[in-house]
C-alpha cells in the first residue's frame, strides 16, 4: 500500500503501539508529520576512509570486510558484548558492540561493510565502539549527508531517519502554497525539492536551497500574520485621547534628571496618547535603565487628564514595590495611587474596588487580581504591563475589556529583557518599539566572576567581608526542594545536583554564617511570608538572602552589593543578566559570582560571555543563538507562533526579504481574496490559530 501524508505511523514496518506512543511524544503520528519534523543538524558521511588513513578525531566512515564470524559474550546480567574483526588491505579494525546481540546474526564473515563511528587507538590496535554499519552494496545511511533529528527516549536517530526516508515519496503530493510570483521574485526552490533535500540533501548547495525556501516560507507567513495584527490594531475603536502637558511639571517630581533616552521615550509616549488611535508601545530597557519613570510619566498624564491607569506586575512583591515608589513620587502632584493583590484582606480589596469604580483612584498597581471578576474602572485610559514576556496576549485583552464601552485603552508594555530590535519588531508585531539604551549616570558596572566549586570557601569569606562593610548579599539557587542527588557545598555528587534553597539556607545559617542573619525567599511561600522575607532584606534586618529566581524581577535593594548564583550553568544568559541586575543599584561597587561545576566547554563559554559584558542586547543575541526564541520567552507566552526552521537570530536578512514580500503581496491583495492567494490566507490562519480574531 503506497504511503500518503495521512498514513498513520503504525502502518510503517517496525512501528507497533509502544513505539507509536513514543513517537507521539514528539508530535509525530502520520507520514506528513515526519516530513515537517526538520533535522536539527547534519553529519557528512560521504567520505569513506581506509582503516590506516581514517583520522582519530570525529566520526568517520570506513569500508572494510568482516574477517570472522562475530563473537557474542555475556559478561554479566544486563551486559552483552559482540566483538568482530574487520580488515582491508591497509590493516585491521577491532569492533565492539555493547548490548547489541543482533550484530552476531547481522554481520557475515567475508562480506564488505561500511562502519561509521569514532576510531580510537588501544596500543597499536585501531578500534571502534558501537559503530553504525551497513553492507557496502546496500548503502542507505552512509555515503550521504545524514540528518540528525531531535529525539525522545526509546527513539533512535537511525529509526527516525529510516521512517522519514519511507515517508519521502509523499513530498510529491505536498501543495505549493507560496504564490508563483513570490517564488520567482525571491528565487525560491519548489516545495517537493525543498522537503526532500532538507531531510536527505544531495549536496551542500541543495541543502542551502531547501533551507532557504522553507525558512523564507515560515518567516513570510509570520510577516503576513503580523501585518494583519497591525492592521486590526489600526482599525480598532478609538482610544481615549490624553492631552499632552509640559513635561517639566513631571520632571520636577523626579529626584534625578532623566537620561536623554528616557526623555525621548517620554515624548514618544505622550505623542501616542494624545492621538485618537490607542497606543500600543513596548518600552525596552536594560536592568536599571529607568522604565518605571516612563510608566509614572504616562500615569501622571492620565491622572491630569481625568483618566485612570492600571499597572499589572507579575508578582506581589513587585506590585507592592511599584505601589510604594509610585505613591512617593506622584502623591505630591495629587495623583491617588492604589494597590490590588490577591493576598489583601477582603475588606481592603473591597475598598480598592469601590474606589476604582467611583474614579477615586487615579493609578492602580496590581497583579492578576486586576483582571478578576468585580473589578471595574470609571475611566480607564492606560494599561501598563510590566515584564511582558510573563503575560500572554489574553491577560492584556482581559484588562482592556474592563475599560467598558467602545473606548480602547492605551497599552504600554515594559520589558527588561533586551531583545535585538529587529526581533522585537517580530515578536511584538502589534506594538511600536521604544528602546531606553542608556543607563542613568553613576551606575557602576557589576564586576562578574565565573568560579569553580573548589573556590567555595574563598567565596564565603568574600560574603562575610561584604557584610562586615555594611553591605548585603543574595545567594540564588535553581531549585526549591531538596532532591535525592543534591549535594551540599563541598560534597562531590553527580553533575545534575541542584542547590535546593531550603536545605541550603538552613546549612548556611547553621554551619557557614551562624553569626549572620540569613533569610529565605522562594515562590512556594505564602504571599505574606514572601513579603516579610523581602521587607526584612530591604530594611537591612536580613544580611544574606537565599532565594530562587523569584527575585529576578523588580526587587530594589540599593545596599545589596553581591549576588552569588549557584549552578549558574543551569540558567539562560538573559536570566543571569536579569539576576545580576539586582545589585549595582547603590553607590557601592557590586559583584556577581557565577558558581558552576559544569564540565561542558560550551556552558563555560556562555558564562564567560556574561562575565565579559554588561550589554544586555549583546547578551540576548548570544542567548538567542544558544536557546532559540521559544526558550527565550517561555512557552509561547508572547502569543506568536514558533518557527520550526527559521532562526530569528541568524536569519535577519531573510526576515527582511520575507517582510518585503509580505508587504508587496498585501499591497496588491489586502485581504488575500484572489484565488492564487487563498493558500497563503489558509496557512496564516492555521499559524495564528491562537489569535483567530485577527481575521475577523
- What b-and-e string marks burial along 49-58, b requiring 16 or more CB atoms within 10 Å of the CB? bebeebeeee
- State residue 626's pLDDT score: 61
CB 376 within 8 A of CB 402: yes
The better pLDDT of the pair 659, 161 is held by 161
pLDDT of residue 265: 93
Q: How many CB atoms lie within 10 A of CB 596?
A: 19
Distance between CA atoms of 346 and 503, rounded to whole angstroms? 35
Question: Does residue 64 carry a pLDDT above 50?
Answer: yes
Q: How confident is the model at residue 634 (pLDDT cuts 50, 70, 90)?
A: very low
pLDDT in tens, 210-238: 999 999 998 898 888 888 877 766 665 56
pLDDT by residue (tens digit) across 206-215? 999 999 999 9
Task: Choose the most confident range, by mean pLDDT, from 390-404, 418-432, 566-580.
Answer: 566-580
Confidence of residue 84 (pLDDT cuts 50, 70, 90): very high
Tally the C-alpha atoms within 13 A of residue 244's C-alpha that lie toward its C-beta.
14
Percent of the chain with pLDDT over 70: 84
Q: In terms of Cα–Cα distance, which of 334, 597, 571 is closest to 452?
A: 597
Q: Does the pLDDT of residue 614 top 90, yes or no?
A: no
Give me the domains of the chain, ranges plus CATH numbers. Answer: 47-143 (2.40.50.140), 178-235+655-696 (no CATH), 247-436 (3.40.50.300), 447-613 (3.40.50.300)
* Mean per-residue pLDDT, 433-459: 83
**Average pLDDT estimate for 354-379:** 90
Highest mean pLDDT (candidates 231-245, 422-436, 550-564)? 550-564
Residue-wise pLDDT for 372-401, tens only, equals: 888 889 889 998 987 654 555 566 567 667
pTM: 0.61
pLDDT tens, position by position, 468-519: 999 999 999 987 765 434 333 333 333 345 678 889 999 999 999 999 999 9
Mean pLDDT of the chain: 84
Q: How far is CA 508 from CA 192, 457, 476, in A?
A: 62, 12, 13
pLDDT at 130: 93
What Å distances lie between residue 151 and 26, 116, 118, 196, CA to CA? 7, 20, 21, 20
Per-residue pLDDT of 595-610, as tens digits, reads 998 888 888 988 998 8
Return the percent helix, strand and coil in the chain, to nearest 5.
40, 20, 40
Amino acid at each position: 500500500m503506497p504511503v500518503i501524508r495521512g498514513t498513520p505511523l503504525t502502518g510503517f514496518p517496525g512501528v507497533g503501539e509502544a513505539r507509536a506512543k513514543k513517537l507521539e511524544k514528539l508530535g509525530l503520528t502520520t507520514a506528513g508529520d515526519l516530513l515537517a519534523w526538520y533535522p536539527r543538524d547534519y553529519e557528512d558521511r560521504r567520505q569513506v576512509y581506509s582503516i590506516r588513513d581514517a583520522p582519530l578525531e570525529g566520526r568517520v566512515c570506513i569500508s572494510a570486510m568482516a574477517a570472522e564470524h562475530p563473537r557474542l559474550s555475556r559478561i554479566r546480567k544486563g551486559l552483552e558484548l559482540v566483538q568482530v574483526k574487520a580488515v582491508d588491505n591497509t590493516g585491521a579494525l577491532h569492533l565492539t558492540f555493547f548490548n547489541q546481540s543482533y550484530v552476531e546474526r547481522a554481520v557475515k564473515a567475508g562480506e564488505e561493510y561500511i562502519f561509521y563511528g569514532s576510531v580510537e587507538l588501544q596500543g597499536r590496535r585501531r578500534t571502534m565502539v558501537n559503530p553504525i554499519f551497513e553492507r557496502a552494496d546496500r548503502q542507505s545511511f552512509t555515503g550521504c549527508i545524514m540528518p540528525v533529528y531531535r529525539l525522545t527516549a526509546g527513539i533512535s536517530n537511525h529509526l527516525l531517519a529510516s521512517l522519514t526516508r519511507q515517508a519521502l515519496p509523499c513530498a510529491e503530493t505536498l501543495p505549493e502554497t507560496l504564490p508563483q510570483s513570490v517564488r520567482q521574485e525571491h528565487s525560491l526552490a519548489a516545495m517537493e525539492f525543498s522537503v526532500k533535500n532538507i531531510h536527505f540533501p544531495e549536496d551542500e548547495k541543495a541543502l542551502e536551497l531547501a533551507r532557504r525556501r522553507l525558512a523564507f516560507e515560515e518567516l513570510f507567513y509570520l510577516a503576513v500574520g503580523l501585518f494583519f495584527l497591525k492592521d486590526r490594531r489600526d482599525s480598532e475603536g478609538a482610544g481615549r485621547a490624553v492631552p499632552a502637558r509640559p513635561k517639566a511639571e513631571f520632571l520636577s517630581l523626579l529626584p534625578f534628571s532623566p537620561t536623554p533616552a528616557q526623555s525621548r521615550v517620554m515624548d514618544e509616549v505622550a505623542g501616542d496618547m494624545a492621538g485618537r488611535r490607542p497606543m500600543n508601545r513596548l518600552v525596552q530597557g536594560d536592568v536599571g535603565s529607568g522604565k518605571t519613570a516612563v510608566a509614572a510619566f504616562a500615569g501622571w498624564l492620565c491622572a491630569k487628564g481625568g483618566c485612570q491607569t492600571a499597572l499589572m506586575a507579575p508578582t506581589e512583591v513587585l506590585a507592592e514595590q511599584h505601589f510604594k515608589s509610585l505613591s512617593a513620587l506622584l502623591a505630591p502632584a495629587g495623583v491617588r495611587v492604589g494597590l490590588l493583590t490577591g493576598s489583601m484582606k477582603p475588606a481592603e480589596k473591597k475598598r480598592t474596588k469601590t474606589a476604582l469604580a467611583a474614579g477615586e483612584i487615579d493609578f492602580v498597581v496590581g497583579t492578576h487580581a486586576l483582571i478578576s471578576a468585580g473589578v471595574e474602572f470609571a475611566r480607564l485610559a492606560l494599561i501598563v504591563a510590566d515584564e511582558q514576556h510573563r503575560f500572554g496576549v489574553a491577560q492584556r485583552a482581559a484588562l482592556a475589556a474592563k475599560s467598558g464601552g467602545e473606548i480602547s485603552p492605551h497599552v504600554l508594555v515594559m520589558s527588561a529583557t533586551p531583545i535585538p530590535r529587529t526581533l522585537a519588531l517580530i515578536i511584538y508585531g502589534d506594538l511600536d518599539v521604544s528602546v531606553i539604551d542608556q543607563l542613568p549616570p553613576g551606575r557602576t558596572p557589576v564586576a562578574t566572576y565565573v568560579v569553580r566549586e573548589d573556590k567555595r570557601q574563598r567565596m564565603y569569606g568574600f560574603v562575610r567581608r561584604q557584610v562586615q562593610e555594611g553591605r548585603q548579599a543574595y545567594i540564588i539557587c535553581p531549585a526549591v526542594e531538596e532532591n535525592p542527588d543534591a549535594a551540599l557545598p563541598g560534597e562531590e555528587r553527580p553533575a545534575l545536583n541542584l542547590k535546593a534553597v531550603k536545605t541550603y539556607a538552613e546549612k548556611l545559617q547553621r554551619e557557614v554564617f551562624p553569626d549572620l542573619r540569613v533569610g529565605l525567599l522562594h515562590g512556594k511561600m505564602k504571599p505574606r511570608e514572601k513579603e516579610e522575607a523581602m521587607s526584612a532584606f530591604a530594611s537591612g534586618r536580613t544580611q544574606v538572602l537565599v532565594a530562587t529566581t523569584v527575585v529576578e524581577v523588580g526587587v530594589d535593594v540599593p545596599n545589596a552589593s553581591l549576588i552569588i548564583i549557584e549552578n549558574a550553568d543551569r540558567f539562560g544568559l538573559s536570566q543571569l543578566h536579569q539576576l545580576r541586575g539586582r545589585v549595582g543599584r547603590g553607590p557601592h561597587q557590586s559583584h556577581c559570582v557565577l558558581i558552576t561545576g559544569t564540565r561542558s566547554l560550551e556552558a563555560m563559554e556562555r558564562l564567560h560571555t556574561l562575565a565579559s559584558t554588561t550589554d544586555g542586547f549583546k547578551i540576548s543575541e548570544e542567548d538567542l543563538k544558544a536557546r532559540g526564541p521559544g526558550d527565550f520567552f517561555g512557552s509561547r507566552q508572547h502569543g506568536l507562533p514558533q518557527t520550526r526552521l527559521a532562526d530569528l537570530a541568524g536569519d535577519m536578512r531573510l526576515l527582511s526579504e520575507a517582510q518585503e514580500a509580505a508587504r508587496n503581496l498585501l499591497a496588491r491583495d489586502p485581504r488575500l481574496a484572489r484565488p492564487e492567494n487563498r493558500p497563503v490566507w489558509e496557512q496564516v490562519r492555521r499559524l495564528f490559530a491562537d489569535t483567530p480574531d485577527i481575521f475577523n
